[in-house]
């Protein structure tokens, strides 16, 4: 089965840039989606199809996908961005949804 690997945690100072990675075998050939989950809340889609943003998501959130790594970039990080972030793909070979293990973003 397809596996997605994320770093468990990342700390960033306010105003700086956070880059959260998601590794997978030839992930660049797949569409990668990213979700933000704050404590006690349901996940929210922040980037889909590698780099598209749903309406209402700030431009500070962007994505890139190539080779074996996809990256979610959050520019000018704010205290309100503190959350768990999950990458996700649909594995068409098995018809299974796959999530990464999640990255806890801490804003210092």
Partner 1 sequence: EVQLLEYGGGLAQPGGSLRLSCAASGFTFTDYVMNWVRQAPGKGLEWVSLISGSGGSTYYADSVKGRFTISRDNSKNTLYLQLNSLRAEDTAIYYCAAGPRVNEYHFDYWGQGTLVTVSS
Least distance to partner 1, CB of residue 105, Å: 14
Least distance to partner 1, CB of residue 38, Å: 12
Residues near partner 1 (CB under 8 A) are 1, 30-31, 33, 35, 37, 41-45, 48-49, 54, 84, 86, 88-90, 92, 95-102
Least distance to partner 1, CB of residue 33, Å: 4
CB-nearer residue toward partner 1: 18 or 30: 30
| Concatenated DSSP letters of 39-87 | TTS--EEEEBTTTB--TT--TTEEEEEETTEEEEEE-S--GGG-EEEEE
The Cβ of residue 101 has, within 10 Å, a number of other Cβ atoms equal to 14
CB-nearer residue toward partner 1: 30 or 61: 30
Q: What is the rounded distance in angstroms from the CA atom of residue 65 to the CA atom of residue 53? A: 14
CB-nearer residue toward partner 1: 31 or 68: 31
């Amino acid at each position: 089965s397809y596996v997605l690997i994320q770093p468990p945690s990342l700390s960033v100072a306010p105003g700086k840039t956070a880059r959260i990675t998601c590794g997978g075998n030839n992930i660049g050939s797949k569409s990668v989606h990213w979700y933000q989950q704050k404590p006690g809340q349901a996940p929210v889609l922040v980037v889909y199809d590698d780099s598209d943003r749903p309406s209402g998501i700030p431009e500070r959130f962007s994505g890139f996908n190539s080779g074996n790594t996809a990256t979610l970039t959050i520019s000018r990080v704010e205290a309100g961005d503190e959350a768990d972030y999950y990458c996700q793909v649909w594995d068409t070979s098995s018809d299974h949804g796959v999530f990464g293990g999640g990255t806890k973003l801490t804003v210092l």
